[in-house]
């Protein structure tokens, strides 16, 4: 290396401050500097990658911990719901099965006579219905225990006799029947043996079959998870629903109430799948029950919801037979006579879902005497508005009323009021 002036060196390379170096030496130095810069860049990249890896790992661990915590909390909630279901639903919502008498005919009849839902509607926040003793019923409603019992007749007579009257013209429904259970005879009839489409009155048979196939009282507290297929079925067919969400885990008791009060297709299909594994298998059970009831020649089911189908049919008389059997079953009777109800809280609906039987809530303000204790309505375009109800007059005599093909939901209510009003004692 040497210092020189531009005039003294032909091979020199000018740098700042007029310092000149040998070209080869300069290239070596430049290359070394470039390698050092490259090495620093590589070290910085490695540190950055290591920082990202460590940071990403920490974030991943945090996410996993949060997911595990959410999963654990969800499982704890489900466990609490299950425990509450056993403790509250069995002894509160369905108190007739609080002991080991489930399935025992004699004990069940005694439970029916001792505990009946006849009091005013509880607030939606109340998780269970309070049962009223037979003695309290007499004091509050003036009903005689024997006549006021909700147990139906063993074999309901639906054949009109010489004393059966034609339904008066003021009744709009094209099909109608009113049966006195106390006398076990048809008081009034209009095309009661003619085939009709039952629409959601079908769900009375749905809860009856499901109730009769419960393994035990504790099964009411078991959990059923709503599926995408159930929601899709209800959506495609434009069905009414309770409002359960896909993946929501609900109690079997809620499925019973949800099937009747808001006429929920999601609850009805849930009951069917819980009971038989599929709706198709459950429908076979429904038709078997129709055969047991002696109505299979005029009643046939294709689905558990009540959707229209040419092969899904019944008669007003047959629906009365089904209602009679359902009201004789404590679980079905509890669902059919409930005015308002709140489902158990879940992660989807922490406060539960409030559902109500609009027919019962509407008709109670317009009955001139007596009381309508239980009911189920239905509607499809092919059937118009139909309803089946269970009433008791001021003397404690029980009746079943079925109407079909009314032009409006309120008209169906007015038809029941007219029939009960004429024949109640």
Residue 375's alpha-carbon distances to 191, 274, 359, in angstroms, are 21, 24, 7
Write out the DSSP string of 283-327: HHHHHHHHHHTT-TTT-B-S-SS----TT-BB-HHHHHHHHHHHH
Distance of CA 62 to the CA centre of its chain: 37
| Helix 279-292 vs helix 265-276: crossing angle, to nearest 10 | 80
Residue 344's beta-bridge partner residues? Answer: none
Residue 404's beta-bridge partner residues? Answer: 175
Residue 102 pLDDT: 36
Residue extents of the structural domains in the chain:
24-93, 94-423
Dmax over Cα atoms in the chain, in whole Å? 144
CA-closest candidate to residue 407, choices 172, 189, 230: 172
Write out the DSSP string of 152-198: --SS------TTPEEPPTT---SEEEEEETTTTEEEEEESTTS-B--
Residue 83 pLDDT: 55
Q: Which helix (H) or strand (E) holds 238?
A: none
Residue 358's CB: how many other CB atoms inside 10 A? 17
CA-closest candidate to residue 244, choices 220, 260, 224: 224
The three-state secondary structure class of 375 is strand
Residue 275's alpha-carbon distances to 283, 323, 334, in angstroms, are 11, 20, 19
Is the Cβ–Cβ distance between 372 and 258 less than 8 Å? no
CA-closest candidate to residue 400, choices 411, 388, 410, 409: 388
Beta strands in 104-169 (DSSP E): 165-166
- What's the CA gap between 209 and 202, in Å, rounded? 11
Fold of 94-423: Beta-lactamase (3.40.710)
Per-residue pLDDT of the chain (425 residues; tens, 9 = 90+): 444 444 444 445 454 545 555 777 778 888 888 888 888 888 888 888 888 888 888 998 998 999 988 888 877 776 665 555 444 444 455 544 443 333 333 333 333 333 333 233 333 333 333 332 333 323 333 223 233 455 567 789 999 999 999 999 999 999 999 999 999 999 999 999 999 999 999 999 999 999 999 988 889 999 999 999 999 999 999 999 999 999 999 999 999 999 999 999 999 999 999 999 999 999 999 999 999 999 999 999 999 999 999 999 999 999 999 999 999 999 999 999 999 999 999 999 999 999 999 999 999 999 999 999 999 999 999 999 999 999 999 999 999 999 999 999 999 999 999 999 999 98
Residue 251 pLDDT: 96
Q: How many CA atoms are closer than 13 Å to the CA of 89, on its beta-carbon side?
A: 29
Q: Which two structure tokens, joined as six digits, stand for 86?
A: 């056993």
Residue 84 pLDDT: 53
Q: What are phi and psi of 309, to 5 degrees?
A: -160, 140
Distance of CA 330 to the CA centre of its chain: 19
The residues, ordered by sequence, that sit 6+ positions from 70 with a Cβ below 8 Å of its Cβ are: none
The residues, ordered by sequence, that sit 6+ positions from 140 with a Cβ below 8 Å of its Cβ are: 118, 119, 132
Is the Cβ–Cβ distance between 220 and 190 less than 8 Å? no
Q: Which helix (H) or strand (E) holds 388?
A: strand 384-392
- What's the CA gap between 254 and 403, in Å, rounded? 27
Q: Which two structure tokens, joined as six digits, stand for 69?
A: 């915590």
- What's the CA gap between 111 and 218, in Å, rounded? 17
């Amino acid at each position: 290396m040497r210092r020189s002036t531009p005039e003294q060196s032909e091979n020199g390379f000018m740098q700042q401050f007029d310092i000149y170096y040998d070209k080869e030496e300069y290239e070596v130095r430049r290359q070394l500097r470039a390698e050092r810069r490259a090495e620093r860049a590589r070290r910085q990249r490695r540190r950055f990658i290591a920082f990202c890896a460590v940071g990403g790992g920490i974030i991943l661990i945090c996410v996993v911990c949060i997911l595990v915590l959410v999963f654990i909390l969800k499982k704890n909630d489900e466990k609490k719901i299950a425990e509450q279901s056993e403790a509250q639903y069995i002894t509160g919502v369905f108190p007739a099965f609080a002991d080991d008498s489930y399935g025992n005919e004699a004990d069940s009849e005694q439970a029916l006579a001792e505990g009946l839902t006849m009091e005013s509607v509880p607030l939606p926040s109340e998780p269970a219905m309070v049962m009223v003793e037979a003695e309290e019923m007499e004091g509050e409603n003036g009903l005689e225990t024997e006549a006021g019992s909700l147990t139906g007749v063993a074999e309901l007579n639906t054949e009109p006799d010489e004393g059966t009257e034609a339904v008066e013209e003021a009744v709009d429904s094209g099909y109608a029947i009113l049966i006195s259970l106390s006398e076990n005879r048809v008081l009034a009839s209009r095309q009661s043996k003619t085939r009709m489409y039952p629409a959601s009155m079908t769900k009375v048979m749905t809860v009856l079959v499901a109730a009769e196939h419960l393994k035990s009282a504790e099964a009411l507290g078991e959990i059923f998870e709503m599926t995408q297929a159930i929601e899709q079925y209800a959506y495609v067919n434009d069905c009414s629903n309770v409002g359960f969400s896909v993946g929501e885990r609900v109690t079997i008791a809620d499925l019973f109430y949800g099937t009747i009060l808001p006429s929920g297709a999601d609850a009805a299909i849930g009951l069917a799948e819980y009971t038989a594994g599929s709706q198709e298998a459950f429908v076979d059970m429904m038709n078997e029950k129709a055969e047991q009831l002696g109505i299979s020649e005029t009643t046939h089911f294709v689905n558990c919801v009540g959707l229209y189908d040419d092969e899904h049919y019944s008669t007003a008389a047959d629906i009365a037979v089904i209602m009679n059997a359902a009201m004789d079953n404590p679980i079905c009777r509890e669902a059919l006579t409930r005015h308002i109800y709140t489902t158990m809280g879940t992660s989807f609906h922490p406060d539960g879902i409030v559902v109500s039987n609009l027919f019962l809530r509407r008709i109670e303000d317009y009955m001139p005497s007596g009381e309508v204790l239980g009911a189920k309505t239905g509607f499809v375009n092919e059937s118009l508005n139909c309803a089946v109800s269970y009433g008791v007059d001021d003397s404690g005599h029980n009746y079943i009323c079925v109407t079909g093909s009314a032009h409006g939901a309120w008209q169906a209510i007015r038809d029941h009021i007219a029939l009960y009003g004429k024949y109640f004692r």
